[in-house]
Structure 1
Amino acid sequence: MIERLITKRIHDLGGGFTVGRVLPFHARRMVGPYIFFDHIGPVELEPGIPKSLDVRPHPHIGLATVTYLYDGAITHRDSLGVHQEIHPGEVNWMIAGKGITHSERFEYARLNGALMHGIQAWVALPQDAEEVDPAFSHHADLPRWDEPGLTGRLIAGTMEGMTAPTPTHSPQFYAHWQMAAGTRRVLPADYSERAVFVAAGTAEVGGTQVETGTMAVLEAGKEAAIIATTEATVMVLGGEPVGERFMFWNFVHSSKDRIRQASEDWQTGRFTLPPEDNQEYTPLPEFKGF
């Protein structure tokens, strides 16, 4: 039933703010089109936190970033001129395509303090969409589940007859289920690649106990029973593969040469910074190979 368990590893985003990185993993780089999966928090941020904790302007190509929060708020600004604060139960969907820059700042927490908890994922775009024009959309009205012992939102794609408003480019699904202790729910085998991530609490997936911060990658073609052994925050995700992708820093693409070009473009200042946040940026890290 479970092909592999992946436990998050602590990763510093560069300014002292750490996340739990799940994907990519050396033995499992993607689940469907999902090539990146970071668990943010939960962490209590005090009023007056330094700006060094923010994610400064940085570039992307070849992917869509997906930000979803359980608690807290993040302020997004990008090179399209978008300025959007995201709150719990909402999603920021940014299509990088041929190139975009953005920043993510903890402005609400800096003023008020906040418990920060959420997920940032990246979706690799299919080859015919890797170089589309960049775009951004924010969605607060997502399709919902409201069942005995389970509430939830469909963040992206199509699942159980519902389709999210987020603009996807390939077959996929991504959902948040909030499960009361003892609740049992079956995840259908509609997609060839699927995973279950436990963001809070514990759950039994296909008869195996899955702890907080762990992703269970499922075998293809089999339904998976999920039982919340405590109150649990569960993410279910997956879809159809989009083919091999290369990744360096914030760049994802089917072409290594395209990633090298994007790296050079960033290094030489050919990317446009967000007009409201252009006084600093994240330096290009040392290239250590794909």
Structure 2
Amino acid sequence: MIEMVIEQRRRSLGGGLDVGRVLPFARRRMVGPFVFFDHMGPLDVAAGADRTLDVRPHPHIGLSTVTYLFSGEIMHRDSVGSQQAVRPREVNWMTAGSGITHSERFEKARAVGDHLHGIQAWVALPESAEETAPSFAHHGGADLPRWDDAGVRGQLIAGSAYGLTAAVPTHSPLFYAHLDMAAGATAEVPPGHAERAIYVATGSVEVDGERHGAGRMLILGSDVSHVSAAEPATVMVLGGEPLGERFLYWNFVSSSKERLRQAAEDWKAGRMKLPDADDREFIPLPDDPFLKPPAMS
């Protein structure tokens, strides 16, 4: 059975870039370790677009960010010295751990125009890894196994599923895959994890006899084993083992509310290093009562 249907909520990130926010949701904060899920675009950007489209340097703790594109290009720069464009069917996996800052720039779009479309997810870290040293990894090609069978063209983004394992480093059991499905095709939803979900990025699918269109995440019960495409569809399948409660404030994730407070204070006081190649501007801490007494309940 389908335990819950979550409709994306459109949010503006400024500069004309809208996202469909899926996780966290009021009645479902996480799916396995996945604590954040945004559907970016689709958006056509003309050459010469304003720089307000860019995401200026900002901080993270306690998570890994996962950037995956269907189309377009994003330039990533971070405080551990990484500078790496991510392109369709590649993965930028940044582990914040004890703290990292990064920017996401649409430099190709400004230069020649672009069609931006993709997913950004956050994966919470287990408590034992929340304060790990920050790092960055880029993967493509053979690192991300692909298959093509009976109308389903798939690619594993992270973790293990479909008898395959991606080279992306992870800190807890999970799977994350991209399926392009022809009309009428059926794909397995990987079993063996406590929490699983499907996100319909384009087209529509049928699960348990019900049809669901683009912009919906379906939280699945343990008995759901397959998804079928009612029309050509792009589907993300994801899941993993739950890590326990996580608290979020702005771009920070932690099992400790006090750690969130410390991260916010560090950013506000300028104690978190900016990317060397992109240190001329940053996103200020939102004006929020989080830092003011009384303590969070």
TM > 0.5 fold call: yes
The one of 197, 202, 205 aligned to 1:203: 205
SS in 2 for 1:260: helix
Residue identity in the other structure for 1:261:
Q
Greater alpha carbon shift after TM alignment, 254-263 vs 160-169: 160-169
Distance 2:225 2:204 in 1: 16
Q: Corresponding residue for 2:116?
A: 116
**Per-residue deviation, residues 198-231 of structure 1 (Å, max 9, x unmatched):** 0011111222211101100111x22332110111
Distance 2:289 2:235 in 1: 34
Q: Corresponding residue for 1:190?
A: 192
Do the aligned residues in 1 keep the contact of 2:198 with 2:235 (CA within 8 Å)? Answer: yes
Q: Corresponding residue for 1:240?
A: 241
Q: Corresponding residue for 1:143?
A: 145
Q: Which runs of no fewer than 5 residues in structure 2 stay unpaired?
A: 291-295
Given the superposition, is the C-alpha separation of residues 268 and 14 from structure 1 closer, same or farther in structure 2, using an over 3 Å criterion? farther
Distance 1:207 1:3 in 2: 14
Q: Corresponding residue for 1:31?
A: 31
Residue identity in the other structure for 1:132:
T
TM superposition shift of 1:190? 1.2
SS in 2 for 1:261: helix
Distance 1:30 1:165 in 2: 24
Q: Corresponding residue for 1:282?
A: 283
Residues 90-109 of structure 1 aligned to structure 2 (within 5 Å): 90-109=90-109
Residues 140-289 of structure 1 aligned to structure 2 (within 5 Å): 140-141=140-141, 142-219=144-221, 221-287=222-288
Do the aligned residues in 1 keep the contact of 2:17 with 2:41 (CA within 8 Å)? Answer: no
TM superposition shift of 1:256? 0.4
**Per-residue deviation, residues 215-262 of structure 1 (Å, max 9, x unmatched):** 00111x223321101110000001000010000000000000000000
Distance 2:129 2:57 in 1: 23
Do the aligned residues in 2 keep the contact of 1:97 with 1:130 (CA within 8 Å)? Answer: yes
Residue identity in the other structure for 1:157:
G
Do the aligned residues in 1 keep the contact of 2:17 with 2:43 (CA within 8 Å)? Answer: no
TM superposition shift of 1:17? 2.1
TM superposition shift of 1:12? 1.8
Residue identity in the other structure for 2:110:
R
Distance 1:161 1:120 in 2: 25
Residue identity in the other structure for 1:239:
G
Distance 2:264 2:211 in 1: 42
Do the aligned residues in 2 keep the contact of 1:175 with 1:237 (CA within 8 Å)? Answer: yes
Q: Which runs of no fewer than 5 residues in structure 1 stay unpaired?
A: none
After TM superposition, which residue ranges in structure 1, 4 or more long, deviate above 6 angstroms? none
Distance 1:147 1:86 in 2: 26
**Per-residue deviation, residues 82-101 of structure 1 (Å, max 9, x unmatched):** 10001000000000000000
Residue identity in the other structure for 1:263:
A
Given the superposition, is the C-alpha separation of residues 73 and 210 from structure 1 closer, same or farther in structure 2, using an over 3 Å criterion? same
Normalised by the length of structure 2, the TM-score is 0.95
TM superposition shift of 1:128? 0.1
Do the aligned residues in 2 keep the contact of 1:92 with 1:136 (CA within 8 Å)? Answer: yes
Residue identity in the other structure for 1:33:
P
Given the superposition, is the C-alpha separation of residues 269 and 15 from structure 1 closer, same or farther in structure 2, using an over 3 Å criterion? farther
Determine what percentage of the aligned residue pairs are the same residue.
58
Normalised by the length of structure 1, the TM-score is 0.97
Residue identity in the other structure for 2:240:
G
Residue identity in the other structure for 2:262:
Q
Residue identity in the other structure for 1:119:
I
SS in 2 for 1:98: coil
TM superposition shift of 1:14? 4.3
